[in-house]
Amino acid sequence: MPSKLNNQFREIEIRIICELAWKRGSSVIKILDYMKKQTYNQDEERKENSDEKLKQKVLPYNFFFGRVLQASAQTTVELCQMLEIPDSIQEIIWSVTKSMLSCEP
């Protein structure tokens, strides 16, 4: 694929990941709201059943969340390099970022 076209696709992907997917009414917001509601479910029997439902609903979004994680990693590295943050601190920053972005139900 020509590099200009590849760059254009990358820009579109970044715009979707960083901006469009987070707008009110998007399917990403809906699935996150659903996940949040299921997390607060107190009844254990219902929770086991809802965990399975949640996994089935989240599965199609795994690719998207993986791309969000990749974009976050790239941004984290770029920022740390610009700020001249030592590698040991970069690892801590990435660990915290990654744990915050974890979408495991």
Question: Angle CA(14)–CA(28)–CA(40) in degrees, nearest 5?
Answer: 135
Asked if the structure places residue 17 within a domain, the reply is no
> Which of these, 56, 52, 3, lies nearest to 31 by C-alpha position?
56
Predicted TM-score (pTM) of the model is 0.64
Tell me the pLDDT tens digit for each residue of 80-95: 999 999 989 988 988 8
Query: For residue 43, is pLDDT > 60?
Result: no
Domain span including residue 36: 24-101
Work out the mean pLDDT of the chain and round it to a whole number: 80
Does the structure show a pLDDT above 90 at 3?
no
Position 105 scores a pLDDT of 45
Residue 15 domain-assigned (yes or no): no
**Tokens 């993986």 — which residue?**
66
- pLDDT above 60 (res 37): yes
Residue 2 lies in a domain: no
Are residues 46 and 76 in contact, defined by beta-carbon separation less than 8 angstroms?
no
Alpha helices of the chain — where are they, by DSSP H? 3-18, 27-39, 44-58, 62-82, 87-101
The pLDDT, as a whole number, for residue 86 is 93
Return the residue matching tokens 């994680």: 69
